[in-house]
Chains A and B, each alone.
Chain A
């Protein structure tokens, strides 16, 4: 898994590429925590390149989203498709997140 951050005026976009599993899900959480510690309140996860996510990845997304919500911010998910999208649907998490097709659509809501 590779995480590539881009700092925009309204949000930090974290482009996640590859497989998020038990061995690396905490890397995503730590990356988000660093931006939150620096004052970011709106994070956008660009998941177009995410091929796989297990329950450990779901935990990371949920933990970050809950933390940002408690800080009056939010985690937006973009580009979810394939297995990751089905995993979010199966666990009924999809409706709890802000989900958009792509980053420009997400940015337009901020």
Chain B
């Protein structure tokens, strides 16, 4: 990625979500990401950052970093990092989507939604950091 990154570091807490969302949304708007895609971008950020807030540093606390660049008009390249426990969310089993209402497990849908909404989703562990990177909007989004 040649484009410069904008970055924001905040405590990895659910109440940091609004600031992270605002930060990336501003970038998305100036990059010309379609207005109707912005709520989907919020959803992607929420699903990833809530997992970090809940589990990355458990039982302690730490920071999350969100950075983005604009590789081409209408598209963002986003990286989200934490310095918590080694965890690759992309290695988790896909959720069971079949069955009846009573059989349906209650969790596991967040990562599944992210996978459907972004492009080039990848995970790496380097220098004691977990980093998820992706492009938005993904190829399956109108």
A interface residues with partner B (beta carbon < 8 Å): 21-23, 51-52, 54-56, 58-59, 62-63, 65-66, 69-70, 83, 87, 90-93, 96-97
Contact = CB atoms under 8 A, between A and B. Distances in A.
Contact of B109 (A52, A69, A91, A96): A91
A52 B38 CA distance: 11
Interface of B: 14-15, 17, 39-40, 42-43, 46-47, 50, 95, 97-98, 100-102, 104, 106-107, 109-110, 112-113, 116
Given A54-B110, A55-B110, A59-B109, 5 more contacts: A22-B14, A54-B43, A55-B47, A56-B110, A92-B98
Contacts of A96: 100-101, 104
17 contacts: A21-B46, A22-B14, A22-B17, A22-B46, A22-B50, A23-B14, A23-B15, A54-B50, A54-B110, A56-B110, A62-B104, A66-B106, A69-B102, A91-B97, A91-B112, A91-B113, A93-B104
Nearest to B40: A83
Contacts, number: 62
Tell me what chain B mostly uses at the interface: helix, strand, loop, or mixed.
helix
Tell me what chain A mostly uses at the interface: helix, strand, loop, or mixed.
helix
Contacts of B102: 66, 69-70
In order of increasing CB-CB distance, the 10 nearest A-B pairs are A55-B110, A55-B109, A92-B97, A22-B50, A96-B101, A54-B46, A91-B109, A59-B106, A62-B106, A83-B39
